[in-house]
Structure 1
Amino acid sequence: MSHLAILCVRNEGAFLLEWLAHHQAVGFDKFLIFSNDCQDGTDTMLDQLEKMGLVTHVRNEGPYDNGGIQFTALKTAAKHKLTRKADWILPLDVDEFVNIHCGDHTLPALHAAIPDATAITLTWRLFGANGQVRYSPAPVLDTFTKAAPAIMHWPWRSAMFKTLYRNDGTYKKPGVHRPRDLNEKKKADARWFDSNGEPLPEQFVNKRIFSNFSKDNYGLVQLNHYPLGALESYVVKADRGRAVHSDHILGLDYWVERNFNTNEDTSIQSLAAPRSEALQAMLSDETLSNLHNSAVAWRKKQFETLMLKEPFRALFGRLLMTPPSQPVPREAAQFMFHFANRARRANKKKP
């Protein structure tokens, strides 16, 4: 079976090769990668990777539709020949790493564990900054090993998922968190399962983008999510903006809702050996290695440039003063959900 990963990147060349090496080890055989407005050479790296036969690179230079840069890329991906030919599809971000817990930790093992699935929800596990202040080119998966606990009650974003789905015509387009444009004629054949291998109700076939709260969603597979990095990297990310809404500047709120460091989780090291082998194979190409080093140098220089501006110095200072986030107890989360539900009911009553 062919597995296609779809990725959108901007100025993330320093992290690209580790991400690619890991997902090669997981079992993805096709990569459709979109780049836009890169100053660090990420787009040139992707050109070289395409020459090496490892990825397909598309420059997503606009104009962009109302959904923004990432939605425009996914709209283009829906028509691409790789998407049409793939058996399974998973859109990802460069800070998301598939972490399979069953069998030999590869995609075939996951399919063997859930053979009836046409869609599998991969729930985020949030990994915090782990006390890292300065950016280092050391591997993300070796550096950031502290995460949120397996059971979270708040915020709802901690239960968001990405969807690995069979490309059988049930959905016409890939989406950020779930496939889009359901074919009603094939709806009855859709079989959605969670990352514990349990069947999911019909509402997941249509619209859900987050798993149920207050339970361990990581039995067979999880999606390691590293949205922060070191404080230095977060300042650079704040300048770039959000992946989906690039005009939304990142601040302390985004950081606090994701900087959980309560539990050690090194389970993703199950694929350390094949990941390292794949990475070294890429770095053995002199052109690609030089481009990677240039992207690392750009990231360091960009941080220094941003720190000459007051808003980014202020953000960095606030990050230094902010302790790691603490999980919200069940009772406190229920208190907040009570008001969220009241607000939802009130909005439904409005004319």
Structure 2
Amino acid sequence: MFGWKSKRSFTRELVITPPAPLAGRHGISIVACVKNEASYIEEWIRFHTAIGVRHFHIYDDGSTDGTMDILRSLLPADALTIVPWIMRIRDQATSVVLNGQAIAFAHALLNFGGRYDWMAFIDVDEFLLPRRDRTLEEALRHVKGFPNISLPWHMFGHGGHRVRPAGPVCLNYTARVAHPERQGGNASNFKCIVDPTSVTGVSVHRFWTKAFGDRTSNDAGMVASVRDRKAEAFYSAENLQLNHYYLKSQQELAEKVARGWSFDDTTEKYRQKVAETARYIEHDVVEDRAMAAFIARNHIDLGPSAIPVPETMHDRTS
């Protein structure tokens, strides 16, 4: 069961009774809310399958571009669960937009969580990169079983691409925020990996557990409260880095803004949010080729995951 944690923040925080662990539970699943990601989903699936993800729970927000067909062609039935999940919901009394993503996460925990050792809650433009190990499960051993892990965004910019280049996103974009621990606003946040049988509180970017409340671990085993995890000392990508390919090319960024977001009331509000985040990302960047090195070292096949673009269109800004 679940309920709202508080009236004033009910769109963000949910209280649940943790699911009981099932006999034989094992492995890692990813939970993601998805809409019209046909151009990007294959690369994301192939990569996370290669690092040992056992199952994908996909909450489909009304995709119309064949995304679900691609998923079914890539994954066997025992590795994929698709849940229809239209996310535009309002509270009747206040007209506040409810966060359908947080509700989806609670649904996944309650209905499927007992099957797995870990559940990761990320988006299709986010990749979990093991830094010293071959698999995600190996990387998670460094937290020594702590049930709530927070991974800071490592935000990647457009890298000079004006239009979408051919090839995988995670190989094309290698310029990221130089100091994620010093960022603010919309460019500074975390995504979480949790032991689903321990979770008592759910939101998009933070979780609570029955034994540790809001305390959470970084990828190296350092534990802090949710409030204190934004201290510079907590920021770590020693063993596991969360790459967030937020901007991509200027063309794709414009398309992203045009699509809007389910939880902003107006297009203008979303446009301002994206513009602010883009300024943060592009203000101070470094070259980060750790993902490319990992893929090459482990011979990961990402497949034909991007729509080819004519060579003459591969313009880059100076």
For the superposition of Structure 1 and Structure 2, which TM-score range results when normalised by the shorter chain? 0.7 to 0.9
Larger Rg belongs to: 1
TM-score (norm: length of structure 1): 0.68
SS at match of 2:40: helix
Q: Name the SS for the 1:218 alignment partner.
A: coil
On the 8 A contact 2:128/2:136 being kept in 1, the answer is no
State which of 131, 134, 141 in structure 1 corresponds to 2:160.
131
The change in CA–CA distance for 1:119 and 1:74 in structure 2 (over 3 A counts) is closer
The correspondence of residues 42-191 of structure 1 with structure 2, limited to 5 A, is 42-49=67-74, 53-61=78-86, 64=89, 66-80=97-111, 82-102=112-132, 104-150=133-179, 152-169=181-198, 171-172=199-200, 174-180=202-208, 182-183=209-210, 186-187=211-212
After TM superposition, the structure 1 stretch with the greater mean CA deviation from structure 2, 214-223 or 160-169, is 214-223
Pick the structure with more helix per residue: 1
- How far the C-alpha of 1:29 sits from its partner, in A, is 0.8
Runs of 4+ more than 6 Å apart? none
C-alpha distance in 1, partners of 2:234/2:57?
33
Code of the aligned partner of 1:153: R
Residue equivalent to 1:34: 59
Who is 2:292 aligned against? Answer: 269
CA distance in 2, matches of 1:243, 1:195: 30
Does residue 20 (structure 1) correspond to residue 39 (structure 2)? The answer is no
Cα gap change, 1:50 to 1:173, in 2 (>3 Å): farther
Matched residue type, 1:83 = G
Distance (Å, rounded) in 2 between the aligned partners of 1:209 and 1:230: 34
TM-score (norm. length: structure 2): 0.74
For the residue of structure 2 that corresponds to 1:217, the secondary structure is coil
Which residue pairs with 1:311 in the alignment?
A: none
- Let me know the Cα RMSD of the aligned residues: 3.3
AA at the equivalent of 2:218: D
Give, in angstroms, the shift of residue 214 of structure 1: 7.5
Question: Structure 1, unaligned stretches of length 5 or more?
Answer: 284-291, 301-319, 325-351
Aligned positions of 1:195-210 closer than 5 A: 195-200=219-224, 203-204=225-226, 208=227
Aligned-partner Cα distance in 2 for 1:278–1:246: 40
How many Å separate the matches in 2 of 1:29 and 1:3? 5
Residue 328 of structure 1 is matched in structure 2 by none
CA contact (8 A) 1:228 1:259 kept: no
In the alignment, which of 278, 286, 291 is matched to residue 255 of structure 1?
Answer: 278
> SS in structure 2 opposite 1:56?
strand
Deviation at 1:50, TM superposition (A): 5.4
Q: Which residue of 2 aligns with 1:194?
A: 218
CA distance in 1, matches of 2:99, 2:170: 29
Aligned residue for 2:191, secondary structure, equals strand
Q: Is the 8 A contact 1:126 1:148 kept in 2?
A: yes
CA distance in 1, matches of 2:195, 2:233: 28
CA distance in 2, matches of 1:50, 1:23: 12
Q: Is the 8 A contact 2:50 2:300 kept in 1?
A: no
Aligned partners of 1:134 and 1:232 also within 8 Å: yes
| Contact 1:71 1:176 (C-alpha < 8 Å) held by counterparts | yes
CA drift at 1:255 = 2.1
State how many pairs are aligned. 278
Partner in structure 1 of residue 236 of structure 2: 217
**Which residue of 2 is the match for residue 238 of structure 1?**
257
Identity of aligned residues (%): 22
Give CA-to-partner distance per residue, 1:105-130, whole Å, 9 cap, x none: 42232233222422222111111110
